[in-house]
Amino acid sequence: MIDGRTKTEANYRAVMLDSSSSLKDFSIDRKKYYRKHILNEEVEDKDAQAAVMGRIVETLLLEPELFDEKFSMSALAKAPTGKMLDFCNALCDIAIENTDESGEITKNFEDMAMEARSVAGFEWSLKVILDKFIGGDPEIYYKELRIVKSKHLTVVTTQDVENAERIVQELKINPVTCDVVNLVNSDRWKVLTQYQVEGFEIDGHLFKSMMDRVIIDNVNKTIQVYDLKCVWAVEQFLNEYYLYRHAYIQAYVYYCAALYMAREGGEFEGYSVEIPKFIVCDSTNYFNPLIYVLDESDLKDAYEGFEYKGREYKGVKELIEDLKWALDMNTWNISRANYETNGVVKLRKC
The dihedral of CA 184, 173, 227, 262: what is its sign?
positive
Contact 215, 268 (CB under 8 A): no
Residue 316: φ, ψ to 5°: -60, -40
Residue type, 245: R
* Model pLDDT, residue 10: 57
The dihedral of CA 141, 142, 143, 147: what is its sign?
positive
List the chain pLDDT tens, one digit each, 350 residues. Answer: 345 555 555 555 556 799 999 999 999 999 999 999 999 887 766 556 778 899 999 999 999 999 999 999 999 999 899 999 999 999 999 999 999 888 899 999 999 999 999 999 999 999 999 999 999 999 999 999 998 887 889 999 999 999 999 999 999 999 999 999 999 999 999 999 999 999 999 999 999 999 999 999 999 999 999 999 999 999 999 999 999 999 999 999 999 999 999 999 999 999 999 999 999 999 999 999 999 999 999 999 999 999 999 999 999 999 999 999 999 999 999 999 999 999 999 998 76
CATH code assigned to 5-10+178-339: 3.90.320.10
* Model pLDDT, residue 56: 96
Residue 154: φ, ψ to 5°: -115, 130
End-to-end CA distance of the chain: 46
**Domain chopping of the chain, boundaries:** 5-10+178-339, 44-169
- Please report, for residues 67, 133, 311, the alpha-carbon distance to residue 165 in angstroms, rounded to integers and kept in the order given: 12, 30, 38
Contact 280, 229 (CB under 8 A): yes
Contact 188, 179 (CB under 8 A): no
Instruction: For residues 98 and 263, give the distance between their C-alpha atoms in angstroms, rounded to a whole number.
Output: 51
Residue 64: HSE in the Cβ half-sphere, 13 Å Cα cutoff: 6
Residues 279/173/285/80 CA torsion (nearest 10 deg): -100
The secondary structure of the chain, three-state, reads CCCCEECCHHHHHHCCCECHHHHHHHHHCHHHHHHHHHCCCCCCCCCCHHHHHHHHHHHHHHCHHHHHHHEEECCCCCCCCHHHHHHHHHHHHHHHHCECCCCCECCCHHHHHHHHHHHHCCCCCHHHHHHHHCCCHHHHHHHHHHHHHCCCCEEECHHHHHHHHHHHHHHHHCCCCHHHHCCCCCCCEEEEEEEEEEEEEECCEEEEEEEEEEEEECCCCEEEEEEEEEECCHHHHHHHHHHCCCHHHHHHHHHHHHHHHCCCCCCCCCCEECCCEEEEEECCCCCCCEEEECCHHHHHHHHHCEEECCEEECCHHHHHHHHHHHHHHCCCCCCHHHHHCCCCCCCCCC
Residue 289: φ, ψ to 5°: -65, 150
The length of the chain is 350
> CA-based diameter of the chain, in Å?
68
Question: How many CB atoms neighbour CB 63 within 10 A?
Answer: 17
